[in-house]
Structure 1
Amino acid sequence: MPGGYKLKGENLGREFKIRLREDYHLKNEKRKASLKNQILYKVSAAGSLMYLIGVTDDGEPIGISYQELLRSDKVLKKICSEIPVNIEKEDVIQVGEDRFIKCYLITRKELESKLQHLTVVTVGHVGHGKSTLIASLITGKPDDGSGKLRVYLFRHPHEIKRGLTADLSLAFYAFNEMGEALRFSNPKDPVEQARILQNARKIISFVDNVGHLRFFKTMVRGFSSMKPDYAMLTVSAADGLQKGTLRAFLLLISYEIPFFIIITKADRASEEAITKLEEQIILWLKRLGRTPYRVKDEIDVCIVASKMPEGVVPIIRTSSVTMEGLSLIDKLLWQLKPRVEAESISKPFLMYIDEIYNIVGVGPVVSGKIKWGKISKGDVVLVGPVKGEFVKAKVLSIEKYHQRISVAYAGDIIAVALKPLKRQLRYRDYRRGMIVCDQKLNPKPVKKFIADVRIYPSPTTVKEGYCPVLYCESIRQQVKIEKIENIEEHGVGGFTATMTASFIYRPCFIQPGDRFVLKEHDYITGVGVVKSIFNVQ
């Protein structure tokens, strides 16, 4: 065939069409959306797409007339102009008398990486409306009272079947330059995601956390690995304060995260019941050293937004059925500022791995939230520890919200495709809790460390030989306490001390100043800060 093209058949990197028609592919909205999604999916999966017009589905280059080719060209370019892709190259090839085919190289348009980005984790007792509230916020749609909108947040079939969140789920919506919310009609539609991101000035990433205490380890991970800027604590007006609510209070205090309280399901409770619940919440907040503030209008939002890092806790009444209070949440999220420290961007790149995927045609892809610095496509980074050492790898691509970008900064939640250099790094070698970092960081695996800890009252006696599970960044591993000294008892129960502990199973990368939580079963036994480390020799 002329031009050296080999038509082997369709796959993720190739798509064949005999022709495209304006009356069928543009005026039929369902068919138009299908064509957009097909192009976006293939470009995202393969990195680029060779799109050929004048070719049958089985790869035969039969060609079409030049006039038909021009009409098809117009339709394809109209479709591509409405999704985040670029047509990099075009080539017309004559295959017979007045018979032509046209080949396009389509690539992903890069997302602007310097958008303001805010991460908000949700927490609360099971059944208190966390997922439904987020779904109503990002779609602008009222729920029917049975939680039907929450399926937008579910990741697994058993979650849909049981109506119960069992894993961390990420969702987002955005604001334009005027502070107006950009919402979805379908949050899982990649075309809509691309449209919203292209028009966004500020992005709000929700980490939808679990509520059932059976999944308490996942709840803790939502705080430790995602390092949220703020937390949204939900309390059902119909159920009031529950065991999971009080456990959530403890997590928020342990991680020192500014938070606001959303009273959900206000349509299911009387004014008297809601007022009584607010008084109970205010009492709890005062005991924890926080300043509660009832938010009733936009003026209140302006007052409290800048004071949240100082311990002020806004309380907002909402209903996902009547949409009461959701506009106040919009205004609050628009006003809140990211808590990423300015100096963290200038430090060497560091990201803890939270999720690992094995993508067909790409290989292992890791995701997490960038703690320090920035990462660019083509960078050579270190990954590990793997069997006690760090392996060099090249950054093949970076994605943020399923959109390709060339640079990402501290505070961004990203997915990175890596190609190991020299040593082969297989999918099963990657673990949650490993790091991807700049070579300048010169990381060393840590087996033992010394930390200052605050031990809470619990059913277990914390002493030398005790083996709790440690949560630090995305690390979740059992440690053995080898020594406890400088103990100071507290009148309210518990004590502060200096402890020496070691990882039981494998060395990890931690640094002085890192905060951690100690956990056993479904309760927290203590919190601490790493004071010094002992590298593996």
Structure 2
Amino acid sequence: MEAAAAADAVTELKRRVDTLCVSSDDSKKQEVDESNQEKLSANGDVAAEDEAEKLRTLRIAFVGNVDSGKSSLIGTLIKGDLDDGRGLSRKVIFRHKHEEESGRTSSVATVYMGFEDSGEQILSKRAGKLIPWVELAKLAHKRIQLIDLAGHEKYLKTTVFGLTGMQPDIVVVVIGANMGVKRMTKEHLAIAVALEIPIVVALTKIDIAPKNVAKETLQTIRQSLRRYGKMAMLVKTLEQAETAAKSIPSNRITPILPLSNVTGDGLANLRRIFFEASPTALFKATLAATTLAMTKSNNQEEALATTADGGSTNTKSPTGLGDLIEMPIDETYQVPGVGFVVAGTLVSGTFKINDMLQIGPDHNGQFHKVTVRSMESMYIPLKEIVPGQTAAISLRSVNKRYALNRTTFRKGMILLSPQVNVRDYVSQTFDARVVILHHQTTVTKGYQPMINCRTIRQTAEIVSIESSQDVIRTGDRALVRFRFIHAPEFLKKGMRFVFRDGQAKGIGKVVRIVPPGSG
């Protein structure tokens, strides 16, 4: 009996041990499965980021004084051939005959360059020829849009629209080493800083600049950057270029690249910066800066809004539209067989073909329902567009009574999600914190400058100034109320803008949208 009891006890003990072992194995298996799931999720996130990086086009605007070599630099970069010193490279950039004759850019010109995943630039196999955009888009691991802006003071309005409306990720300030830092260069630099766009300085014509002049120009550039709280970084090697590219999204360090379009010195460093610069990181940095500006605007102007609105406060999220669709339109086309096409860069949200959106505001401040017929980027059809991506979109009006064409379109119109309550953002009157960059006399009530905010380009009148003397001069800051002259516009808190009348006069930040009827 005792032997049988002992045997039963041993059997029971073995069963319990086996149960514990199985339980332990199951637990370990579950832990392994969870670990693998986390790894797969992380890998999926990385893959999604990589795919988004490929879809986004890095947008780079070139500014600087007339004759500094902007167009020649762009032409040299995209062709892969050196300039002859007499403007050979820039001919591929110019859009008008008078530009070729004068050698000066008067309009916004855009071209593309692309890189393989190894960092090698994709060039045409035919010497001196440009590779077609369709072929470039298919082959490129990374695509870059180069925006050539005018340097002459006469065309400043075009340059300002390019900087505000085309939303560049980086601004390349081109300065001739033999010319020094001219007044228009300083204005372009001030505008880029005010709009919080990362800056790269290209110091051109080092092959013909006397050493003492080039040294003095470099010193002036350093001083100008220091005045804006930026640290200059001289880039002369590929390793320095890689380091500089990674620091650009912080918007604290400004690379300076000495180069020559004739000898080719320094061009490889600039190409490396373009290849290494991440459009995703730059887009996120810009979005974070905008969100911070909107949060500050809400905090600083809460008392103002409470007083003006009779005690009510705005309880909206400081991030504004959040994940809802927001796409400013910077260009329109009427394509035979396709219809009305708009182009722009998506700020937030995503949408697909056949999705319904709303477009506006029109001349009366109204929005209209539209559907997405087709989309493409660099001639490649798209099924979906992601934030930071630039695309051309064919639209169809839902209401047949509303004709959607270039006649009914106006600058400043935007594509939004259907559920956005546009009354919270559309108004003819707004308050802004402004600073005067340059003005020969004083700015007073009744002054009517041109407002450039994203794609908005409309004259507005100053209806009130909150300052000690009710006037503002160069360097002064004040809270100002503006009223658009012609039509309401879509605005959000934190948006930055430039106001001018001929040359740049000042910059501002929207702090409050004044509801219609209360301004």
| TM-score normalised by L of structure 1 | 0.74
CA shift, 1:185, in A, is: 5.8
Query: Size of the alignment, in residue pairs?
Result: 426
Shift of the alpha carbon at 1:188? 12
Equivalent residue for 1:530, pick from 506, 510, 516: 510
SS at structure 2 position matched to 1:458? coil
Matched, 1:204 2:140: no
Amino acid aligned to 1:412: Q
**Greater strand percent: which structure?**
1
Asked if 1 retains the 8 angstrom alpha-carbon contact of 2:358 and 2:415, the reply is: yes
3-state DSSP of counterpart to 1:182: coil
Q: Tell me how far apart the structure 2 counterparts of residues 492 and 390 of structure 1 sit (CA, whole Å).
A: 38
Structure 1 pair 376/152, CA: closer, same or farther in 2 (3 Å)? farther
2:414 equivalent to 1:435:
yes
Find the aligned partners of 2:346 and 2:78 in 1 and give their Cα distance: 24
Q: 1:320 aligns with which of 261, 280, 285?
A: 261
Distance in 2 between the 1:209 and 1:413 partners? 18
Corresponding residue for residue 406 of structure 1: 383
The answer on 1:350 being equivalent to 2:331 is no
CA distance in structure 2 between the aligned counterparts of 1:260 and 1:119, rounded to whole angstroms: 13
- Give the C-alpha shift of residue 332 in structure 1: 1.1
- Tell me the residue number matched to 2:306: none
Matched, 1:470 2:451: yes
CA positional deviation for 1:163: 2.1
Report the residue type matching 1:333 in the other structure: F
Once residues 374 and 512 of structure 2 are traced to their aligned partners in structure 1, the CA distance between those partners, rounded to angstroms, is 35
> Once the two structures are superposed, what CA deviation does each residue of 1:380-424 show, in whole Å capped at 9, x if it has no partner?
111111232111111111121232222222222221111111132
Q: Determine if the alignment matches structure 1 residue 378 to structure 2 residue 327.
A: no
Q: 2:365 aligns with which of 388, 393, 399?
A: 388
Q: SS of the residue aligned with 1:253?
A: helix
Q: Equivalent residue for 2:283? A: 340
The aligned counterpart of 2:14 is none
Classify 1:113/1:318 alpha carbon distance in 2 versus 1 (closer, same or farther; 3 Å): closer
- Specify the code of the residue in structure 2 equivalent to 1:119: R
- Report SS of the residue matched to 1:353: strand
**Alignment partner, residue 402 of structure 2:** 424
Q: Distance in 2 between matches of 1:350 and 1:187?
A: 42
Instruction: Identify the structure with the greater helix proportion.
Output: 2
Which of the residues 176, 181, 184 maps onto 1:236?
A: 176
Deviation of 1:184 (Å): 3.9
The CA distance in 2 between the partners of 1:348 and 1:390, in whole Å, is 16
Structure 1 residue identity aligned to 2:256:
I
| Larger CA Rg, structure 1 vs 2 | 2
Separation in 2 of the partners of 1:438 and 1:187? 47
Q: Quick check: 1:488–1:497 contact (8 Å CA) kept in 2?
A: no
Task: For residues 446-486 of structure 1, give each alpha carbon's deviation from its aligned partner in whole angstroms, at most 9, with x where no partner exists.
Answer: 11111222223411421222111111001011111111115
Question: Contact conserved, 1:186 with 1:192, CA < 8 A, in 2?
Answer: no
Over 3 Å counting, the alpha-carbon distance change for 1:268 and 1:297 in structure 2 is same
Greater length-normalized contact order (CA 8 Å, ≥ 6 residues apart): 2
Write the distance in 1 (CA, Å) between the matches of 2:443 and 2:473: 16
Tell me if structure 1 keeps the 8 A contact 2:78–2:130. no
Whole-angstrom CA distance in 1 between matches of 2:117 and 2:137:
12
Counterpart of 1:152 (choices 72, 87, 92) is: 92
Q: Give percent identity, aligned residues only.
A: 30
Which residue number corresponds to residue 487 of structure 2? 506
- Cα RMSD between the aligned structures? 2.7
Q: Does 1:268 align with 2:208?
A: yes
State the shift of 1:525 in Å: 2.1
Are the equivalent residues in 2 in contact too, given 1:356–1:431 (CA < 8 A)?
A: no
1:535–1:359 distance in 2 versus 1, CA, 3 Å:
farther
Query: Which letter does structure 1 place at the counterpart of 2:380?
Result: Q
The one-character-per-residue Cα deviations of 1:77-132 (angstroms, maximum 9, x if unpaired) are xxxxxxxxxxxxxxxxxxxxxxxxxxxxxxxxxx9994343111110011111111
Amino acid at match of 2:381: R
In structure 1, C-alpha distance between the alignment counterparts of 2:464 and 2:322, rounded to whole Å: 37
Question: How far apart are the structure 2 equivalents of 1:528 and 1:491?
Answer: 13
Cα deviation for residue 213 of structure 1 reads 0.6
The CA distance in 2 between the partners of 1:112 and 1:528, in whole Å, is 32
Displacement after TM superposition at 1:190 (Å)? 9.5
SS in 1 for 2:347: strand
- 2:459 is equivalent to residue 484 of structure 1: no
| Letter of the structure 1 residue corresponding to residue 357 of structure 2 | V
Mapping of residues 167-316 of structure 1, within 5 Å: 167-184=107-124, 192-308=132-248, 309-316=250-257
| 1:337 counterpart letter in structure 2 | S
Partner residue of 1:101? none
CA distance in structure 2 between the partners assigned to 1:278 and 1:403 by the alignment: 42
Shift in CA distance, 403/157, structure 1 to aligned 2, threshold 3 Å: farther
1:397 maps to which residue?
374
Q: Please state whether the residue corresponding to 2:132 is helix, strand or coil.
A: helix
For structure 2, the residue ranges without an aligned partner over 5 or more in a row are 1-50, 289-320
Question: 1:171 is paired with a residue of what secondary structure?
Answer: strand
Instruction: Pick closer, same or farther for the CA change 1:396–1:535 going to 2, 3 Å.
Output: farther
Q: Distance in 1 between matches of 2:230 and 2:371?
A: 46
Does the 8 A contact of 2:99 with 2:106 survive in 1? Answer: yes
Provide the secondary structure at the position in 2 that maps to 1:138.
helix
Structure 1: segments with no counterpart, 5+ residues: 1-110
